[in-house]
Amino acid sequence: MKLFTPCVDPNSSRPLGLPVMVQGGFSWRVLFFGWLGLLTYGTWISAMMAAAASILLHLLVTARWEMALIVSLHAALAAFTSDIRLWEMRLNGRKIGAPIAAPSKDIALLRWADRQPSPVSPPEFPCASS
């Protein structure tokens, strides 16, 4: 089971706007590609900050320690990718919901939708005694 955190846009024009489901845990994509992996998740601010840190490490650190520091930066970014994504969602004005345990993102989305109140009221049936 994985944990998925729903991030709902409160300004959505639809009555039941679908959330962005952020999967908790380690990101192999960010480990291998660093800030480019963060860009693929849509975390522009964090990706640009990580790119600036990578460039500064490349310019200021000697060649002997450069690769070790870049690999450790990638590992730290990969370990905290879900927290970084949630931070960016909060910056974009989304509301963060309670985590949902599910085997896949689709099932987590179904479980989230099952918890939401129906936008349409149930039909009223005539009373049996009338």
Q: pLDDT tens digit string along 97-119?
A: 999 999 999 999 999 988 887 66
How many C-beta neighbours within 10 Å does residue 74 have?
19
Kindly list the domain boundaries of the chain, sorted by start residue.
2-115
Q: pLDDT tens digit string along 60-90?
A: 888 888 889 999 999 999 999 999 999 999 9
Residues ≥6 apart with Cβ < 8 Å to 19: 6, 7, 8, 9, 94, 97, 109, 112
